[in-house]
Structure 1
């Protein structure tokens, strides 16, 4: 499932290719999911940090993964997406098909209410 930002979201992080040095802006929630450099095709880029204010409610994939032991996140995934946990980072739909964790993250980030809930969970753990 391709990443779809919310209308208020803005690219807010700079990444740099370790091979050619090319830099580009990405959305915060794409950190940890990025593929190869668009210029030279080298390995995953390095995050250089935030450079532009975003919506303030975006949660990176890495931060999302670190919340998977949070019962309130599991409840959100179950109620909002109708998915059940198998173990750790694996979820299934009602037909028993495994749903990629990246798709779950994208779905939660693509709905303003769910994104806000995820952000609040992240912030309650971060502070």
Structure 2
């Protein structure tokens, strides 16, 4: 039987593909049950850690991506992570290296204060 999350569950664990480095959020209950990487279909991903636990304010990667046109989110990314936008979904660090959007999402979700700010932006938009 495939994993079915409870209605109040939120994905809270990050995994990464050892082949391509793609990262994504999963439910804690899925650790060890995961199949291949959704980006490259390679070997089973490895556990990278959890987002800020217990806050109940996680924002999914898809919802985070939908917020990228929000100037307050772009300002948060610039101020907290020191990244500058290259275009709609690409950011660069101070050395000009591109930073994967998944890593930005993970970093913001890994800090309870930043996570709360992203959550508030998301809730403001959905109401």
TM range (shorter): 0.5 to 0.7
Runs of 4+ with >2 A deviation = 24-35, 37-44
1:30–1:60 Cα contact (<8 Å) kept: no
Unaligned 5+ runs, structure 2: 15-22, 39-53
Aligned to 1:98: 98
Q: TM-score, normalising length from structure 1?
A: 0.64
Q: Match of 2:24, SS?
A: coil
Q: Deviations over 1:45-84 (max 9, x none)?
A: xxxxxxxxx6321100000000000000000000000000
Q: TM-score, normalising length from structure 2?
A: 0.64
Q: How much has 1:30 moved relative to structure 2?
A: 6.0
Aligned to 1:22: 2
**How many correspondences in the alignment?**
98
Q: How much has 1:24 moved relative to structure 2?
A: 6.0
Q: How much has 1:125 moved relative to structure 2?
A: 0.2
- Aligned runs of 1:82-121 on 2, under 5 Å? 82-121=82-121
Distance 1:40 1:77 in 2: 30
Unaligned 5+ runs, structure 1: 1-20, 45-53
Aligned to 1:33: 24
Root-mean-square deviation (CA), in Å? 3.0
